[in-house]
Amino acid sequence: MATPLREPAPARDRTTAGAPAPVPRRRTSRDVWTAALFFLAPAVVALLALRIIPTLSAVETSIPFGTDRALLSNFTYIFSDPDFLGSLRVTLLFSLVVNPIQIGLALALAVLLTKKLPAVGLWRTLILLPIAVPQAVSAIIWLVLMRPDGPLNGVANALGLPSVPWLVSPDVALASIVIVCSWVGVGYWMTFLVTGIRDIPTSLYEASSIDGANGWQQFRSITLPGLRRPLLFVLVADTVSNLLIFAPVRVLTQGGPQGSTNMIMYDISERAYTLGDTQAASAGTLVLVVIVVAIVAVQFRLLPGKD
């Protein structure tokens, strides 16, 4: 599959074998083969070993071939386990909330920060900065910020608002994780969209403002269509990365309180390493891979434009 399987066609005319100048086209094809093999081998080996084989090994672990157990027994088990079902529900709820928030904010900020405003580069850079902080580290900073007696509640009280049980109430904890992830992510996704907007020819905007189009009309008819490809990329990449959230859950809540933040990655890792149930963990891994691939496929279909 990965490396060329067919030999290059042998030279038909062997009488020219000793000729000083071989026909360029035939010679090229042979050394292009060796060159392709040479240049591609490391990446292909790495991708096979680091992506394809572990996926297959998850299949092997989760499906008990050659035993008297039912082939799908690990899947029937996790799909009847309230903890796993809960993690699917929490992950779905989280995705439905966090993706529109992050992409909406990133798009709004990208539009805003490509307009003529004073020190625009400074604001863009400041908003991008949180991505430099490793997720686990930002989670720890927010762990202290969100303590019951922490600065966030200090600010809330100073504004005359009541304290918020950020990480200790099952009703609020998931929202707190949404805040932490968005703090990290919005500036990052915004950067892709800023770049996309800058690629749209300014003449389009100039022409439309001579025609009297207002900002909203320009956004609808110029910015959005022009941004289609970067927006699709951000949509897919953001959705996938939010499905895989691990560090904030592990550092901030450990899936609690009462399973309210038990997202699928955390659930799988708990199964594998705390409970030692590698079969259920592998089944969970495969469910996650199928969800990711399905979502990416649907999103590519939904948005028009393979140009």
Partner 1 sequence: MAEHALRRERRTGNLSLLIAVPVAIVSIAPLLWALISSLRAGDEIFAHLYPLTWRTVVPESITLDNYIAVLTGPFAMSLVNSVIVAFFSVTIGLFVAAMAGFALAALDFPGRGAVFALMVVSFLIPFEAIAIPLSTSFRDWGLANTYAGLILPAIGNGLSIFLLRQFFLGIPKSLSEAARLDGLSWFGVFWRIYLPLSKAPLVGAGLILFVFQWQSFLWPLLIAPAPSVRVAPVAIADFAQEAGVDYGQMFAGAILASAIPLILLLLFQRQFTNSLASSGSKE
Per CB under 8 A, which of residues 59..98 are in contact with partner 1? Answer: 61
128: contact with partner 1 by CB under 8 A: yes
130: contact with partner 1 by CB under 8 A: yes
**206, 266 Cβ separation under 8 angstroms:** no
Name the segment binding partner 1 (CB under 8 A); options: 64-72, 80-88, 169-177, 243-251: 243-251
Amino acid at residue number 288: L
Distance CA 261, CA 269 (A): 14
> How many CB atoms neighbour CB 40 within 10 A?
14
220: contact with partner 1 by CB under 8 A: no
Closest approach, Cβ 150 to partner 1, in A, equals: 6
Question: For residue 34, is it left (φ>0), alpha (ψ between -120 and 50) or beta?
Answer: alpha
Joined together, the tokens standing for residue 186 give 């919005």
Of the candidates 66, 106, 126, 118, the one whose C-alpha atom is nearest the C-alpha of residue 197 is: 106
Name the segment binding partner 1 (CB under 8 A); options: 72-80, 83-91, 165-173, 283-291: 283-291
Closest approach, Cβ 217 to partner 1, in A, equals: 14
Residues 183-212 binding partner 1 (CB under 8 A) are: 183, 187, 191-192, 194-196, 198-199, 206, 209-210
**Residue with smaller CB distance to partner 1, 6 or 14:** 6
Amino acid at residue number 147: R
Of the candidates 90, 94, 188, 181, the one whose C-alpha atom is nearest the C-alpha of residue 139 is: 181
Residues 285-304 binding partner 1 (CB under 8 A) are: 285, 288-289, 292-293, 296
**Residue with smaller CB distance to partner 1, 15 or 212:** 212
User: Is residue 195 classed as helix, strand or coil in its secondary structure?
Assistant: helix
Binding mask 131-160 for partner 1 (x = CB under 8 A): xxxxxxxxxxxxxxx---xxx-xxx-xx--
**Residue with smaller CB distance to partner 1, 35 or 70:** 35
Q: For the purposes of burial, counting CB atoms within 10 Å of the CB of 168, is it exposed (0-12), middle (13-18) or buried (19 or more)?
A: middle
Distance CA 227, CA 233 (A): 10
Report DSSP state, residue 7: P
255: contact with partner 1 by CB under 8 A: no
Closest approach, Cβ 292 to partner 1, in A, equals: 6
**Residue with smaller CB distance to partner 1, 68 or 301:** 301
Binding partner 1 (rule: CB under 8 A), the pick from 171, 273, 275, 298 is: 273
**175, 252 Cβ separation under 8 angstroms:** no
Binding mask 20-39 for partner 1 (x = CB under 8 A): --------xx-xxx-xx-xx
Closest approach, Cβ 181 to partner 1, in A, equals: 13
